[in-house]
Each structure stands twice: as C-alpha cells, then as structure tokens.
Amino acid sequence: MRPRMMMWRRAHGAGCCGEGRVHPDHHHFSDPGWEGGGPFGVRRPLRFLAWKLGLDDPQIAELAAILDTLKTERAQAAVDERRALSAFADVMAAERFDPGEAGEAAGIRAKSAERVQQQVVRALERIHALLTPEQRSRFAYLIRSGALGL
C-alpha cells in the first residue's frame, strides 16, 4: 500500500468500502481514468476522453488508433532511455571518461524525446480533425485545467 494512502487511512479510518468516503487517492474515485500514467497523463485516456468529450463510436475507434500510435512511440522512448542509461553506465565504468560516448548517450535521449514530441503534435492534429468544435473546446479545457497532461 502506498504511504500516502496509509496516512489517509489512519486519519480517516481503516476501512474504505461501504463507508461513503471518497478521496482522490482512493480506488473509488468517480472520474473514469483519473490516475496519471497514460499517453495523455491519465491511466485510461480513451475511456476518460470518451466520457469527458461525449464521443460517438466512430470517434472512439479513431481515437483508439491515435492513442495506440502514441503509446507505441512512448514505449520506444522507454527502450531508448534504458539504452542511454546503459551507455552512461558504461562510460562511468570505463578506465577513462570518454566525452564522445557520453555525448552519444545524451543524443539517444534527446532524439527520443524529440520523436515523442513530434508524435504528440501529430496526435493532436489528428484529434483536432476528429472532434467537433464543442468537443475541441472541452479538450482544450482539460489541457488548461491540468486534468489532461500532454
């Protein structure tokens, strides 16, 4: 159990289910997909956006394809990050520090971040074309309010 949750439980009672309490760090929070971690800063971005924007079935299908592409690029970025860290470790383990090899490792990281940002821009472009003006307005509000992270 996470330390924050343990502190909350100590302050508000040991039980959770059936007591009528709702807390943002709690698994009963009412917003679908509220937790961070997915391609758009929420754990279940497709469900969250479908609910918040009132998407129809064709829009949901297209958004799923867009998010899948973004998810794939972010997974590749995670692989690149591990490669860069391994290269940094190799540089540190060597007898002499090689600035060129360290620079190459840093370059892996920078190129990967650039590719992810380019993919985010492409995804936003496709989402913009997919949404109605009212849905785009709601999407923009989610970004501005911090409910949706890019």
Helices (H), 13-56: 45-53
Q: What is the pLDDT of residue 81?
A: 96
Using an 8 Å Cβ cutoff, are 30 and 22 in contact? yes
CB atoms within 10 A of CB 89: 11
Q: Which band of pLDDT confidence, cut at 50, 70 and 90, is reported for residue 34? A: very low
Answer yes or no: is pLDDT of 15 > 80. Answer: no
CB atoms within 10 A of CB 108: 19
Tens of pLDDT, residue by residue over 53-109, are 999 999 999 999 999 999 999 999 999 999 999 999 999 999 999 999 999 999 999
Q: What are the backbone angles phi and psi of residue 127, rounded to the nearest 5°?
A: -65, -40
Q: How far is CA 81 from CA 84, 85, 87, 98, 107, in A?
A: 5, 6, 10, 19, 11
- Domains annotated for the chain, with CATH where assigned, are 1-30 (no CATH), 33-145 (1.20.120)
Mean pLDDT, the chain, whole residue set = 80
Q: What is the pLDDT of residue 19?
A: 46
Q: What is the pLDDT of residue 125?
A: 97
Using an 8 Å Cβ cutoff, are 66 and 60 in contact? no
